[in-house]
A and B are shown apart, each in its own frame.
Chain A
């Protein structure tokens, strides 16, 4: 045996004494979730500090703090409603967009001509129009198709169509991210998997996917961050989410001859809420990223 000549220049991160290969993964998982809690806590603290500074600015006389605080309960109710609506839209739009993106991204790499053609049409169509236009189309088409039908709630149907349109728009971007990830896996990997007799489905699940996500996750994080804020476009079809609440409150204040300071505070609060949501989502994705980490292939982690 030629083991004597083996020059070992690569130090092992892990000891080889452990009996099972699953143990380090579990360890990593625990470390990752601990890190996640810390990071979310950090985001929370940052927000509290920012809000504190905002009120401090009022206290030292940069604007009328008493007036601002006097309107806190109605404002709080409106923003809470808005926050819940935004979170609600997210929980539909994000998984749906990812599902569409994953399916069509995979289909774009298909060897079957029809699969590629359908997926390419989807990507070009939904990426080529502004999301706000797509949302409007979806709502109008739904109204035209279902108007006069008494058994359905037309407003709910139309809103749902708008949500699906936004998901489809994001899905078109995500499809390209998924496609790039699949293409980043060297053909040698699939060839080796075929050579040990793996079926196509097994290769996709156990060879291609774990390797493509390592490459795709940063870009997917980008798209999710952008999508969260794009839910504000649903305010155009009457979605009572954060941005809608902001516009509504500003309008009410303007009509009532209220001061500009309060309008500014409202928008700062809305901005902070968006930041907080996006921060939590992107930190969560980074924790997922760590799960797809490969020793020896990693770059520096934040």
Chain B
């Protein structure tokens, strides 16, 4: 579904992605792990063109999307994103946060948008918080609204950029539960995370990145129990203690 072909990215002198290639298959949950600064977030942002690759290609369903002829706004409607710091629109209620993409991007009527938005809030278990503002919600609730906001546009895939890293420990579970449910429903997901339990239980494939390259990829068992590369062994050893 999403193919990344030999993607390079520089930020000034810094070579962040050094020729990354990967394929995300329809319906799979691909988990990306790796130390800080390994280029995981940048890679994720390349997939919905929040960051444009300096070299290489991004293909969605076989169509090269990092093409000047293709509007990045269109690409981003195909691929949803959930951020580490939630980034809910602070001046809008939970419901309005989900509605705005439907009315201002998909141009739906406000009645239709509200119907879909209420359904999405129901899906993430927050139907009763529709009229609350982000500042009145816990981190876990905010992140679930953010997931609902991404799902409302009916994307082909959703990218998760460390969705639980900014959360207090007691709120991590509710977010992971929603993500697990989504994976079980067959949503195509790319998840950058440090939650190794989630990677092992929910991930169909795990990809280990370091220094801007994909060091190793395989099933969760392969990566966590029988890593082949030294760097993977060291990282997995540190993470799993």
User: Cβ of A186: which chain B residues have Cβ within 8 Å of it?
Assistant: 87
> How far, in angstroms, from A188 to B166 measured CA to CA in the complex?
14
User: Cβ of B96: which chain A residues have Cβ within 8 Å of it?
Assistant: 21
> How far, in angstroms, from A256 to B126 measured CA to CA in the complex?
79
User: Cβ of B99: which chain A residues have Cβ within 8 Å of it?
Assistant: 21
> How far, in angstroms, from A211 to B126 measured CA to CA in the complex?
24
Contact at A297–B135, with CB atoms within 8 Å? yes
The residue of chain B having its C-beta at the shortest distance from the C-beta of A6 within the complex is B174
> How far, in angstroms, from A7 to B48 measured CA to CA in the complex?
33
Task: Give the interface size bracket for B toward A.
Answer: 35 or more
Tell me the minimal C-beta distance from B132 to chain A in angstroms.
5
Tell me the minimal C-beta distance from B153 to chain A in angstroms.
6
* B-facing residues in A68-103 (Cβ within 8 Å): none
Tell me the minimal C-beta distance from B222 to chain A in angstroms.
29
The residue of chain A having its C-beta at the shortest distance from the C-beta of B106 within the complex is A197
Contact at B130–A207, with CB atoms within 8 Å? no
Residue B25 interfacial (CB < 8 Å): no
Task: Give the interface size bracket for A toward B.
Answer: 35 or more
Residue B77 interfacial (CB < 8 Å): yes
Contact at A294–B131, with CB atoms within 8 Å? no
Residue B136 interfacial (CB < 8 Å): yes
User: Cβ of A18: which chain B residues have Cβ within 8 Å of it?
Assistant: 131
User: Cβ of A1: which chain B residues have Cβ within 8 Å of it?
Assistant: 125, 174, 177-178, 181
Query: Which stretch from B14-22, B137-145, B230-238 is at the chain A interface?
Result: B137-145
Contacts from A to B (Cβ < 8 Å): 1-3, 5-16, 18, 20-21, 24, 186, 188-189, 191-199, 202, 206-207, 210-211, 214, 292, 294-297
Given A5-B174, A197-B77, 10 other A-B residues pairs in contact with their CB atoms under 8 A: A1-B177, A2-B176, A2-B178, A3-B174, A5-B173, A9-B138, A10-B132, A21-B130, A295-B135, A297-B135
What 8 pairs between A and B have smallest CB-CB spacing? A296-B135, A2-B174, A2-B177, A192-B87, A3-B125, A197-B77, A188-B87, A196-B101
CB-defined A-B contacts under 8 Å, sample of 18: A1-B181, A3-B125, A6-B138, A6-B171, A6-B174, A10-B136, A12-B132, A18-B131, A24-B131, A192-B81, A195-B50, A195-B76, A196-B150, A196-B153, A199-B73, A202-B105, A207-B89, A294-B91
